[in-house]
Amino acid sequence: MANSKYEYVKSFEQPDILLQNVWIVVRIDGRSFHKFTTKHDYAKPNDDRGLSLMNRAALEVCKEFPDIVIAFGESDEYSFVLKKSCNLFERRSSKISSSIVSYFTSQFVYRWKEYFGEHELKYPPTFDSRCVLYPTDENIKDYLSWRQADTHINNLYNTCYWALVLKAGKTPIEAENELRGTFSDGKNEMLFSRFNINYNNLPAEYRKGSVIFKKPVQETNKETGLTKSKKRLVIEHVDIISEKFWKEYPDILASK
C-alpha cells in the first residue's frame, strides 16, 4: 500500500554505506565458544574436527562471495577481506556482515556431520560479525599480522596450560599461576624440558592459523596436453606476518 500512514517509519532506518575504495574486513567470532566447545567435547587445546569445520564453512563463504580476496581463521573466528572495489549490496555494512555471518553459520551447522560424524550437535551455535575498514595495503597486512600474532600467543599459552593440567595434573588455578608473567622463551623451554614437546614441531595449523586465498596453479589439459595458469581457492597454514607471502602472491592485494 503506497503512501500509507505507516510508511513514514521507513525513514527511521539509518544508512550504513561503507566508504568507497578501502578494504573491508568482515570478522566473525563464535559466541560463548568456551561453552560450546566444552559441551561438544572438543579436544584441548585444538580440535582437528572443529578447526576443519571452521575452514570448510569459510571456504564455502569465499566461494559464495567472490569479492573476498583472502581470509584468515583461528580458534572460533574468521576474517574475510573484501576487495577495495567491492560493490556487494551497494556496500551496505549490516547487509554485508549479516549475509556473510549467516552463510558461515548455516554452513557450519549444515556440515557438522561431515566432520563430527555421529557426535551430536547439541544446540545451534551463534556467530557475531562486524565490518571494519582499512584504507591502505599496509593497514590490511598489519591487520592480518595482528590476528596471526594472536594465534601464536594464544596457542603457545594454551599448549602450556593444557600440558600442565592434563599431563602434570595441576589444577586450573595452579596452571594459571605458573604461567603468569612468563615469556615465549620460558613457555617453549617448559614444553620441551617438562613435556618433551618441541613447539615448532606442532602442526602449523595450530601455530599459524589458516589462510584461504586464490592461488595460481598450472593445469594441464589431459586431451590437448596444453598447460594454462588458473587460480584455485586453497587453505594453507603459512606466515602472512612475513613479507615473503605478499611478494610470492602479489595478485592478492592487486585486486583493488
Ligand X SMILES: Nc1nc2c(ncn2[C@@H]2O[C@H](COP(=O)(O)OP(=O)(O)OP(=O)(O)O)[C@@H](O)[C@H]2O)c(=O)[nH]1
**Binding-site annotation, residues for GTP:** 29-34, 75-76
How far apart (Å, rounded) are the C-alpha atoms in residues 24 and 88? 11
How far apart (Å, rounded) are the C-alpha atoms in residues 107 and 109? 5
Q: Shortest Cβ distance from residue 139 to Mg ion (Å)?
A: 22
Of 114 and 243, which CB lies nearer to ligand X in the complex structure? 114
Give binding residues as ranges: 29-34, 75-76
Nearest to 75 by CA among 122, 27, 33: 33
Of 29 and 137, which CB lies nearer to Mg ion in the complex structure? 29
Kindly tell me which residue out of 23, 24, 40, 50 binds ligand X, with binding defined by CB under 6 A.
50
Task: Work out whether 29 is an interface residue with Mg ion (CB under 5 A).
Answer: yes
Task: Work out whether 76 is an interface residue with Mg ion (CB under 5 A).
Answer: yes
Q: Which amino acid is at 209?
A: G
How many angstroms separate the most distant Cα atoms in the chain?
A: 76
Task: Work out whether 78 is an interface residue with Mg ion (CB under 5 A).
Answer: no
Nearest to 45 by CA among 234, 241, 236, 191: 191
The binder of 151, among Mg ion, ligand X, none, by C-beta within 5 to 8 A per type, is none
Task: Work out whether 33 is an interface residue with ligand X (CB under 6 A).
Answer: yes
The binder of 67, among ligand X, Mg ion, none, by C-beta within 5 to 8 A per type, is none
Binding to Mg ion by CB under 5 A, coded x per residue (else -) over 33-72, reads: x---------------------------------------
How far apart (Å, rounded) are the C-alpha atoms in residues 151 and 143? 13
State the residues that interact with Mg ion by CB under 5 A: 29-30, 33, 76-77
